[in-house]
Amino acid sequence: MQTTTVVVGTGPVAVDEIVAVARHGARVQLSDEARAAMEQGRDVVDRLAADTQPHYGISTGFGALATVSIPAERRRDLQRSLVRSHAASTGPEVEREVVRALMLLRLSTLATGRTGVRAEVAAAYAAMIDAGVTPIVREYGSLGCSGDLAPLAHCALALMGEGEVRDAAGARMTPGQAGLTPVTLTEKEGLALINGTDGMLGMLTLALHDLDLLLTTADVAAAMSVESLLGTDAVFADDLQVLRPHPGQAASAATIRAVLEGSGIMASHKTPDCTRVQDAYSLRCAPQVHGAARDTLAHARVVAERELAAAIDNPVITPDGRVESNGNFHGAPVAYVLDFLAIAVADVASMSERRTDRFLDVARNHGLPPFLAHDPGVDSGLMIAQYTAAGLVSELKRLAVPASVDSIPSSAMQEDHVSMGWHAARKLRRSIDALARVLGIEVLTAARAIDLRAPLQPSPATGAVRDLLRARGIPGPGPDTYLSPDLETAADAVREGAVADAALTGASL
């Protein structure tokens, strides 16, 4: 059942709640506990604001200007200027779901009471999310330290009634035209609204959700390829997998076994005279590669859950009422796993493309026509679909180069080491999109090969995937047709989870 309201309290929000708000328009509601915590935190800020001693973020400038004391009558100007100057992103607009995810995560940190923001400011922020109003954030501007300053500043700017937003229908307008009432920020509030890892973390949580699905789909695609290339399933036996006890490998092998269960194609060559004792690595080692990706995803989930439980701001209000400067905003923990996932995604896609290529080569496809063409020579079949997969994999290899090793100093050398976590997240999103397309090409190719093995019958699970593609308008074997729309349809079926659902339902999982 889809979550319709996410209650934001003093504890972390969950990955599925972030997806519900970011993608599906779930509402948000601040808990009474969160409101009380914010009131307590604000009392600390109000007390220090009246102090004659300077306190960073309350009565001083920021970054390299932290030594500049700001008189009380200018502190609202300070917060307004901070947000305006930091809303400095440029380039294409960032996707709506990313902006909504980062806004929810910033709201979650505000709700801890550790930032000193007034409860009414957080309530106005929640109302902006609820109204479906999305500040326009652009691609470039964050170095991942101090957190995602520029993207978050655009959201704070909209809260102040400035900048540009899109309404729930996607129309571009000012915050006032979208019905938002401007909020006047007081001591520390501008800083608290922009100082966090929420952009990179939001994209990481969306990636966790997407990769859970895509790695299962990769197992399904591999099973379809093993089946229709007349491979052996003996290598996926559980007693062989436990000899190397990686949990991801065991999970992938179990999925492949279940998807292949009951295959007439597999049964057709399990005879005493069969010489197929082992297959190419792209078939035989699928659980090892997919499993390693699963284990990488599990590690990334641990890091994400820790970060979701964090209250990131600088300075931060401690439970005993101190206001302390810190370095918790540095994005390194999140940036590292974003880069790690991009490596795993590239490798899973690379193996998928190699399986696709085997179908098209008569020297390796065990009796199928060249390029799975209807009339080879006149027809090219799926020749260029493999080119497309190869181009995507080449791009994925470039995207796998880590962003987190590339620090560029900023803020007059005050911020002399940065995480580049935002950039790691942006390239991971492109990687995930490419993986869905590569897997779609493999599934489309394997489905055509299944049809070409008739009258042999596929397993219930792989047959269900083949039938899904046919029901969506992707034709079976026959003369060449306009192929691009079929590749898009297959990618959509993968991305939406329809391929995995069809296979797992067919396998009674």
Length of the chain: 509
CATH number where 52 lies? 1.10.275.10
Tell me the three state secondary structure of residue 27.
strand
> Quick check: 1 pLDDT over 60?
no
Identify the weakest region by mean pLDDT among 73-77, 111-115, 390-394, 478-482: 73-77
- Comparing C-alpha atoms, which of 314, 412, 411, 311 is closest to residue 55? 314
Q: Determine the residue type at 119.
A: A
Do 165 and 255 share a structural domain?
A: no
Q: Tell me the average pLDDT across 433-446.
A: 98
Per the prediction, the chain carries an average pLDDT of 95
87, 157 contact by CB (below 8 A): yes
Tell me the pLDDT tens digit for each residue of 469-501: 999 999 999 999 999 999 999 999 999 999 999
In a domain, 315, yes or no: no
**13-68: per-residue pLDDT in tens?**
999 999 999 999 999 999 999 999 999 999 999 988 887 777 777 877 766 666 77
314 domain-assigned: no
What is the residue type of 431?
Answer: S
Q: What is the largest CA-CA distance in the chain?
A: 91
Do both 43 and 85 map to the same domain? yes
Bridging pattern class, strands 5-8 and 27-30: parallel
What are the percentages of helix, strand and coil residues in the chain, rounded to 5?
Answer: 55, 5, 35
The percentage of residues in the chain with a pLDDT greater than 90, rounded to a whole number, is 86
Rg, Å, the chain Cα set: 26
Say how far apart CA 95 and CA 102 lie, in whole Å.
11
Q: Are residues 350 and 391 in the same domain?
A: yes
Question: Is residue 331 situated within a structural domain?
Answer: no
Neighbour tally for 395: CB within 10 Å? 15
Which residue has better confidence, 414 or 107?
A: 107
Q: Which range is least confidently modeled, 174-178, 184-188, 290-294? A: 184-188
Question: 111, 149, 136, 134: which is closest to 180 by C-alpha?
Answer: 134
Q: Give the model confidence (pLDDT) of 223-255 as tens digits.
A: 999 999 999 999 999 999 999 999 999 999 999
Record the pTM: 0.95
CATH number for position 344: 1.20.200.10
91-130: pLDDT as tens digits: 999 999 999 999 999 999 999 999 999 999 999 999 999 9
- Catalytic positions, written as ranges: 56
495-501: Cβ within 8 A, 24+ apart: 495/210, 495/433, 495/436, 495/440, 497/213, 497/217, 498/468, 499/217, 499/220, 499/221, 499/439, 499/440, 499/443, 499/465, 499/468, 500/213, 500/216, 500/217, 500/220
Domain boundary among 195, 220, 240: 195
- For residue 70, what are the domain limits? 5-195
Task: Give the model's pLDDT for residue 76.
Answer: 86
Q: Which of 195, 213, 247 is the last residue of a domain?
A: 195
Are 154 and 229 in the same domain? no
Based on the domain organization, do 209 and 139 belong to the same domain? no
Residues 457 and 410 in one domain: yes
Count of domains in the chain? 2
Label residue 166 by pLDDT band (50, 70, 90): very high
Q: Is the pLDDT of residue 328 over 80?
A: yes
Closest to 438 (Cα-Cα) out of 468, 473, 393, 481: 393
Based on the domain organization, do 249 and 119 belong to the same domain?
A: no
**What are 135's strand-pairing partners?**
165
pLDDT above 60 (res 381) = yes
